[in-house]
Structure 1
Amino acid sequence: MKILAISGSLRKKSYNSALLKACQLLAPDSTEIILFDGLADIPPFNPDIEASSVESVLKLKQLLALSSGLIISSPEYAHGVSGVLKNALDWLVSEPEFVDKRVAIFNTSPRASHAINALHEIIRTMSGNIEIQACLTLPLLGSELSYEGILEDEHMVQQIREALDVFCSFG
């Protein structure tokens, strides 16, 4: 099983990216988690441009088409989803690769409820299927933890494995 993972942050020391890297290393044996690294390369959404004509969008669509599911982890900026993540999702609106795709939403800040709620609304509107039991909130904000630090915390490792096991069991 292949799972696509997208961090909504471009920060070098992003907690969201660290969480997804930890997920990649903790994935069940039969699962490969592919981290999408092209978010910064996606141009502003323009409905006059065919998605298939933009290399970075085409790569995202191809990875999504090959995946059984999608994990999204996004920071909250000004009570909303990060602009780069929302932009990438806008490119996928009405694209067949997203329709009925299984999605888990991960959160690295328990107080980031606005972005999480917005992501739920966006995913539902785009006809994605959110696996609520596989969604995860880990309190990483302010922890200074890298993915290695996450992997050293037994409680966090257990929570990540449980979320991934639930998500992968639907595939």
Structure 2
Amino acid sequence: MKIIAISGSLRAVSLNTAVLHAAGRLAPAGVEILVYEGIGQLPFFNPDLDGERLPRQIADFRNIIGTADGLLISSPEYARGVAGVTKNALDWLVGSFEFPNKPVALINTSPRATHAQAALTITLETMSARLVKDASITLPLLGTVNDADSIATNPEFAGPLRSALEIYVRALRAIAEEELHSEQFTK
């Protein structure tokens, strides 16, 4: 099973990116979590470029999303909203065939970042994502100095993160089973 993780932070030392790398270390057996590193290189969304003029970075991004069983997103809150790079990446997926019904779980690294989380939820639901709310968590990382290793080894953070990942993977398997039965039923 492959999960693509997207950090909405471009910072060199980012708790959002660190928590996604920690998730990769805590993933259940047989699950690979790959952090997408190209979010900062995606061009600004322009609907005129969708279709035949689609930039190569966007075609590659959509292909990566299409091959994933699910997405894990962790994005900071800037000025009570979703980080611009996160929204830009999602905007490029709106017109794609790869994203609708994609299972998504959210990791919030700050209990105070409620506005961005709410806006991100609305955006994802509007885009026809299958938001797995039981696997979406908030970890109290704001104001801490942590990297992926310290998050993955600290029981205060690793326990809830591991539990959320287990819930998410169960949901992904249930969705895959549901889709398999649906395909067999329609044949």
Which TM class, normalised by the smaller chain length?
over 0.9
Q: Residue deviations 1:69-90, cap 9 Å, x none? A: 1011000000000001100100
Moved over 4 A (4+): none
Indicate the RMSD between aligned Cα atoms, in angstroms. 1.1
TM-score, with normalisation over the residues of structure 2? 0.89
Residue of structure 1 in register with 2:160 after alignment:
159
Distance in 2 between residues matched to 1:94 and 1:129, nearest whole Å: 16
Displacement of 1:155 after TM fit?
A: 2.3
Query: What are the equivalent positions in structure 2 for 1:55-70 lying under 5 Å apart?
Result: 55-70=56-71
Residue of structure 2 in register with 1:125 after alignment:
126
Query: What are the equivalent positions in structure 2 for 1:2-17 lying under 5 Å apart?
Result: 2-17=2-17
Distance in 2 between residues matched to 1:123 and 1:51, nearest whole Å: 22
Distance in 2 between residues matched to 1:61 and 1:29, nearest whole Å: 26
Could you list the runs of 5+ residues in structure 1 that have no partner in the other structure? none
Asked if structure 1 preserves the Cα contact closer than 8 Å seen for 2:5 and 2:20, the reply is yes
Displacement of 1:94 after TM fit?
A: 2.6
Residue of structure 2 in register with 1:107 after alignment:
108
Asked if structure 1 preserves the Cα contact closer than 8 Å seen for 2:151 and 2:157, the reply is yes
Distance in 1 between residues matched to 2:19 and 2:122, nearest whole Å: 22
Distance in 2 between residues matched to 1:31 and 1:151, nearest whole Å: 16
The count of corresponding residues between Structure 1 and Structure 2 is 171
Distance in 2 between residues matched to 1:156 and 1:51, nearest whole Å: 42
Q: Which amino acid is 1:43 matched to? A: P
Displacement of 1:63 after TM fit?
A: 1.1
- Greater per-residue helix proportion: 2
Identity %: 44
Q: Which amino acid is 2:13 matched to? A: K
Distance in 2 between residues matched to 1:17 and 1:90, nearest whole Å: 20
Distance in 2 between residues matched to 1:87 and 1:63, nearest whole Å: 16
Residue of structure 2 in register with 1:85 after alignment:
86
Q: Which amino acid is 2:82 matched to? A: V
Asked if structure 2 preserves the Cα contact closer than 8 Å seen for 1:51 and 1:57, the reply is no
Distance in 2 between residues matched to 1:108 and 1:78, nearest whole Å: 16
Asked if structure 1 preserves the Cα contact closer than 8 Å seen for 2:23 and 2:152, the reply is no
Larger CA deviation: 52-61 vs 116-125: 52-61
TM-score, with normalisation over the residues of structure 1? 0.97
Distance in 1 between residues matched to 2:16 and 2:161, nearest whole Å: 13
Displacement of 1:51 after TM fit?
A: 5.9
Asked if structure 2 preserves the Cα contact closer than 8 Å seen for 1:64 and 1:98, the reply is yes
Secondary structure of the residue aligned to 1:48 is helix
Q: Residue deviations 1:47-105, cap 9 Å, x none? A: 00026731221222111111111011000000000001100100000311110000001
Q: Which amino acid is 2:35 matched to? A: L
Could you list the runs of 5+ residues in structure 2 that have no partner in the other structure? 174-187
Distance in 2 between residues matched to 1:150 and 1:85, nearest whole Å: 23
Q: Which amino acid is 2:44 matched to? A: P
